[in-house]
Amino acid sequence: MIQSWLNSKFSNRQRKSLLMEKHFVLGTPLDAPLTENQDSIIFACGCFWGTEKAFWKLPGVFCTAVGYSGGNLKNPTYNQVCSGRSGHTEVVKVSWDKSDIDLSDLLKLFWECHDPTQGNRQGNDIGSQYRSAIYTSSPQQTELAISSRDNYQRLLTSNNLGIITTEIKENEPFFYAEKYHQQYLAKPGSRPYCSAMPTNISLGHFNGANYKLPDKVWTEFNWSESHCVLRSDINKIKI
């Protein structure tokens, strides 16, 4: 109990320091308030290192940060999340400019970059902290997320693949992960690791979709190539 309290206090101090930091690649503040033409959403696709890299590369995304959501403990530490007892999953908070990219583009990357049918695991990573999830911030986001899920399920079913286990909830708290996890794969000395197992099924059109990114962007992600996100550079994709 004392150790849990100390971990929480350490997390609070670290969080205040962390929010003064800027994105290691994009140079934007990690916790800048959103403007009228900006929005954010939270995705969980297994280990958050590779997930974050994939999203920061998208044109129109101006900030990403890794953290923990979906659990029952305030300000959890990495060790607490990995124990499975806090109930959190590893997530990436994605913030974007609505004039340059649509939520449907982000959902396309989400569904295609991992296997959303694996339950409490992703590849070799096993545990509730690796479950697939979308945590929305408005009814409109929730509606679009569900629409994309239903369409992707039809595509998976037609290809004899499994049932989507992705958790979709609204207004789940987001807690920033420790500083060393932020933009981890862009930092010198990082371990190139990713357990994501894409299904190689493209999302395509779904009810409510309003894609804004050109097809050229999606050619940068070759999901048939093992760990294609790890093999790519850290820079944002140019249109």
Active site residue 113: no
196 contact partners, CB below 8 Å, separation of at least 6: 45, 46, 47, 50, 51, 113, 114, 115, 122, 123, 227, 229
Query: % helix / strand / coil in the chain, to the nearest 5?
Result: 35, 20, 50
| Burial class (CB within 10 angstroms; exposed 0-12, middle 13-18, buried 19+) of 33 | exposed
How far from 37 is each of 34, 95, 205, 218, CA to CA, in Å?
A: 8, 11, 24, 24
Distance CA 33, CA 84 (A): 31
Total H helices, total E strands in the chain? 7, 8
Q: List, in sequence order, every residue forming a beta bridge with 116; answer none if it has no partner.
A: none
| Catalytic residue selected from 47, 63, 113, 194 | 47
Query: Which residues are catalytic, by number?
Result: 47
